[in-house]
Amino acid sequence: MSDLYKLPTYDLKEKVAIVTGSTRGIGHAIACGFAAAGACVVIVGTKPDVCARTQKEFEEKGYNCLGISANMGDVSSIENLIDKVVERFGKIDILVNNAGIGGKEAPILNISPDEWDETLNINLKGLYFCSKAVAAHMKKQGTGGRIINMASAAGILAPRYVSVYGSSKAAVIHLTKIMANEWARYNINVNTIAPGYIATDMTKDVMADEKNADAVLKKIALRRFGDTDDVVGTALFLATEASKYVTGVLIPVDGGMTIN
């Protein structure tokens, strides 16, 4: 049977993967999954001490990793991050653009320009210029690579009071298609994951309110909130040879919330 069909593997040995926003939540879970699959993972967060602590945590598990602090809202900080990674490892194979903020939840009439700028600066501008910097190195390497952008079910649906966050994530979904179209010639696959309600710091308030939690659960086909581990398998699929002919797609990981 092996002569007829070779099963794809989720092997990331000798791959260098940058995961932004990986000191906690979904990013942390993805970084753990990549490290367990053999990748050298670059852990990125805003606080140097937290990055160092997370690196130590990974190393104690026998994982190969490096913690680097960076401000994803600052292009010079992003460029410095990429330069450090290339200097240390000589290449970049995978980028997961996970860093993001929820921003203010309020009616559109109550949103200020500064609140708009703060969310878009991290969620869209940071992702854009981090992808640009990584893609430039991948092109120079000539070996291709994978870029995985984290969007949200809020970028697919139209929930009230998250106009800024939802707009930023809808833009990420569309930007992924443009990136995939432009960079396919360099063998760079670009895809998007759109998580639904995953148990993280960003969703804990909703889940803690029984009334709100029940209302949200009624919209989820599987009738449960997701765990961060629920996202890892999809990220591994998009980072490995299992998805080598997949680019420009959106994969919701939301328990069926966006079915309707």
- Write down the pLDDT at residue 260: 79
User: Average pLDDT in the 121-143 region?
Assistant: 97
Give the model's confidence band at 202: pLDDT under 50 very low, under 70 low, under 90 confident, else very high.
Answer: confident
Given this model, what pLDDT does residue 4 score? 65
pLDDT at 68 over 60: yes
Residue indicated by tokens 């760079």: 188
Q: What is the pLDDT of residues 216-259, one digit of tens each?
A: 899 999 999 999 999 999 999 999 999 999 999 999 999 999 99
Q: Report the mean per-residue pLDDT for the chain.
A: 94
Handedness of CA 47, 136, 92, 80 (dihedral sign): negative
Look at residue 8 in the predicted model and tell me its pLDDT.
77
Q: Which of 63, 128, 165, 197 is catalytic?
A: 165
Q: Give the lowest-confidence range in 4-13, 47-56, 126-135.
A: 4-13
pTM, 2 dp: 0.94
The token pair at 160 is 């009230």
For residue 242, what are its two tokens? 């299992």
Concerning whether 165 is annotated as a catalytic residue, the answer is yes
Q: For residue range 25-55, what is the model confidence (pLDDT) as tens digits?
A: 999 999 999 999 999 999 999 999 999 999 9
Q: What is the per-residue pLDDT for 207?
A: 76
User: May I ask the CATH class of domain 16-199+228-253?
Assistant: alpha beta
Question: Helix 163-183 and helix 127-141: axis angle, to 10°?
Answer: 20
Task: Give yes or no for a contact between 147 and 133, defined as CB atoms under 8 angstroms apart.
Answer: no
- Report the phi/psi class of residue 18: left, alpha or beta, with left for phi > 0 and alpha for psi in -120 to 50: beta
> How distant, in Å, are the alpha carbons of 44, 49, 210 from that of 61?
18, 19, 36
